[in-house]
Amino acid sequence: MSKQKEVKTNAMRILDKLKIQYDHQSYESDGFIDGLETADQLDLPYELVYKTLVAVGKSEEYFIFVIPIAEELDMKKAARSVDEKSVAMIHVKDLNRITGYVRGGCTSIGMKKQYKTIISDTAKGLDEIYVSGGKIGSQLKLSPDDLCKAVNAVYGDIIMK
């Protein structure tokens, strides 16, 4: 019997290179499913699963925001967190060109370029969070501080209250 070898995503290879501890979980999917469905499939509490959002500022620079899946990005707070007058979400059709990832498989780890990344300060007090592993059907569990280190992020107050 041959042992099934786990196929590593680019995000996993980067975490390995940085010697950052993570756990990988996979789930079945025929295409895009949102974060809530992903959490349900893996039986994870919503407050531990985070989604990666990509926005563009007035300056035409791109910014990454990592927030809990059940929350909404506060565009004014997001803009302030990156010293922009305003930010707007990018069009889904542009996601792959900008990040190298597809919708439902986008993670802040290992994008085409290292964009300024803000992680919701709700993650600060948590031992671990789940983020996309870099492809649909893949989730990574790691500490929020390790994610910060991996993507050179800072914490910020960026969700609607």
pLDDT category at 136 given cuts 50, 70, 90 is confident
Contact in structure between 118 and 82 (CB atoms under 8 Å): yes
CB atoms within 10 A of CB 120: 23
Q: What is the pLDDT of residue 1?
A: 45
The three-class DSSP label of residue 146 is helix
Query: Which residues, in sequence order, are bridge partners of residue 139?
Result: 25, 132
This prediction's pTM: 0.93
Query: Helix 10-17 to helix 144-151 angle, to the nearest 10 degrees?
Result: 90
Take residue 62 and report the two structure tokens written for it: 């791109």
The strand order across the sheet containing 129-132 reads 23-26, 138-142, 129-132
The residue with tokens 């985070």 is 50
Query: Which residues, in sequence order, are bridge partners of residue 155?
Result: 119
| pLDDT cut 90: percent of the chain above it | 81
The residue with tokens 């300024």 is 116
Contact in structure between 54 and 90 (CB atoms under 8 Å): yes
Q: What is the pLDDT of residue 3?
A: 47
* 5-64 tens-digit pLDDT: 567 899 999 999 999 999 999 888 776 678 888 898 899 999 999 999 999 999 999 999
Decide if pLDDT at 155 tops 80: yes
Determine the average pLDDT of the residues in 80-109. 95
- For the domain with range 10-156, which CATH number is right: 3.40.50.300, 3.90.960.10, 3.40.50.2300, 3.40.50.720? 3.90.960.10
Q: What is the pLDDT of residue 5?
A: 54
Question: Could you tell me the residue ranges of all domains in the chain?
Answer: 10-156
